[in-house]
Structure formats: C-alpha cells, structure tokens
Structure 1
Amino acid sequence: MNELKSEILINAGIRAAERNFSSAYITKRGDSDAGAIFVKIDTLDGYAKLYSRNLVYDFDKNKDLIRFENLYPNKKIKREDIDLRLAKEISIDRDCWVIEIEDKNGFNPFHNLDG
C-alpha cells in the first residue's frame, strides 16, 4: 500500500479550507507519516461535526482510497461534546492529528480530497 503521508494530506486540506474562506488550524500535531486524523468542523452555532480518516479498499479501482467519515452523521453534537471525544482519542493515541475548521455551513474540505 502506498499511503499518502498524514502531514501532506493535512496541508492540502488546510489549503482547501482557506480557498473556501474558512479558518483552519492544527490543534494537535501527530506523527508526520501516520497517525489517525480527526477533523472538527465548528459551525459557529455551538455545534460541531467530527470526521475521522479511514482507508477503504475499492475493488473496482483496485486501490486504497482515503475517506473522511462523519462520526456522528445523523445528529447535531455540541462543540463541548466533540472536544470531550477528541480528548479521549488523544489519550488513546498520542500520535493522532486534530484539525479544527471554522465554517458556518459545515463544509469539510477534506471530503474533496477523498481518493
């Protein structure tokens, strides 16, 4: 498997957010080559979305694809609850990355980076 390095993927996502006029920050730096990636999208109304990078094998294309899965797809989650979840994830995996994006429409620039 020829996996894209975490830091390269994160930098591309941050640039995509900035092109969409969204603020994007690395709030927890992880391992530059690997490590889980969490993307928190603050919708600036007290709520947030949380995405996690997953690798998915596409049999039709015969290759691994990067997907950012919404960890809470069918409900609104308070920003504080997302922060608690992230604190727990960090305590489990010190090499994980956390990216925070402020976008009132909930736009996830990492979605456009899906393989």
Structure 2
Amino acid sequence: MFRTDLWVSAFVRRHNDIGHLCVVTRRGDPLAGQIFVEVDHLNGEVSLYTPAPETSRMDETEARLFQLRFDHVEPGKVSERIAREQDFDPDLWVVTLEMRSGDLGLEIV
C-alpha cells in the first residue's frame, strides 16, 4: 500500500488542481496513518468518509477503500466523531474538501 503522506499529497493536489479547496487539517503517521475525508458541501452540511473495514476487501487490491460514515449532516456531528477517533488513534490524518457535488476520487465500498 502507498505511504499515507504520499496518498494524501496526491489527493489534495488532484482536488486543488480542479478547483476544489482541499487541505490537510490533521497530519498523522506518514507511513500508515488512517485517513478521514471530511467533505464540506458549502450549504451548512458535511459528509465524512472513513477507512472501510478490512473485511470489505474482495481481493488483494492495494487501493485504499473508504466508507461513507455520515452523509449531509451538521458539522458538529462530524467534528465530534473525528475528535473521538483522534483520542483513540493519534496517527489519524484528516483531509477537508470543499465541493458541492461530483467525484471524490475515492474507492467507496
């Protein structure tokens, strides 16, 4: 699997290059930290994508898989979930993306 810091760097660059504002809001372990992607829909609602469980892998793919944890909810709910996860996993990365709709560029299960 790709290093986390390289994956995050490519994800941020890809979105910024197409005109979305995408920033790293929390840096974690550069080699193997989990990645949470927070999507601000620019209408007062946010969504949160988290790593998919290993049991959801159907094959030996190297790709990072994500699952939709919260869909179009108030920002406080997502902030609370991220804060709880940070207490549990200090190696966590958080990437924040502003976009109304479109392809996130994530593999979703």
Check whether TM > 0.5: yes
User: What is the percent sequence identity of the aligned residues?
Assistant: 25
Instruction: With the length of structure 2 as denominator, give the TM-score of the two structures.
Output: 0.84
List, as ranges, runs of 4+ consecutive aligned residues in structure 1 with deviation greater than 4 Å. Answer: none
Q: Distance in 1 between matches of 2:62 and 2:20?
A: 29
Q: Distance in 1 between matches of 2:86 and 2:2?
A: 22
Instruction: With the length of structure 1 as denominator, give the TM-score of the two structures.
Output: 0.80
Equivalent residue runs for 1:57-76 within 5 Å: 57-59=57-59, 62-72=60-70, 75-76=71-72
Change (3 A) 1:47 1:106: farther
User: What is the match of residue 46 of structure 1?
Assistant: 44
Structure 1 stretches of 5 or more lacking a match? none
How large is the RMSD of aligned CA atoms in angstroms?
1.8
Count of residues paired in the alignment: 105
User: What is the match of residue 83 of structure 1?
Assistant: 79
Q: Distance in 1 between matches of 2:51 and 2:87?
A: 18
Secondary structure of 1:46 counterpart? coil
Structure 2 stretches of 5 or more lacking a match? none
